[in-house]
Amino acid sequence: MSEPRVGQSLASLVDGTAVVVVRATAADLTITCGGVEMADPKTVRPTDRLPLAPDQHEPTLIGKRYVDENDNLELLCTKPGQGRLAVNGAPLTIKSAKPLPASD
């Protein structure tokens, strides 16, 4: 568990997924991709890749924002991949766009 910081970059150890923390309101959060905790991208090498479990396969989409059900965490996907994003074991979902106000 760690305390994510706004602006912090994280990289997956199972695929090419990379994210940036946009919002984090809770302190002890374990952010995972493909079931493996994400790490600082400066320390991740292609030779460090771990296998992706079949039950953790859910593509991440570049440019999409992912949130948890309590709005404690929001991540922006900067590089796509094949692993499911989760926090403390709960899968993250794509944030829906807010409707624009009607113009009269």
pLDDT tens digits, 65-81: 999 998 889 999 999 99
What pTM value is reported for the model? 0.87
Please state, in angstroms and rounded to a whole number, the distance separating the CA atoms of residues 24 and 74.
7
Residues sharing a CB contact under 8 Å with residue 27, sequence separation 6 or more, in sequence order: 3
68 lies in some domain:
yes
In a domain, 79, yes or no: yes
Q: Which domain holds residue 68?
A: 9-94
**Structural domain contains residue 4:** no
Q: Which residue has the tokens 């292609």?
A: 46
Separation of alpha carbons 53 and 57, rounded Å: 7
Number of domains in the chain: 1
| pLDDT tens-place string over residues 26-80 | 778 899 999 999 999 998 887 878 888 888 999 999 999 999 998 889 999 999 9
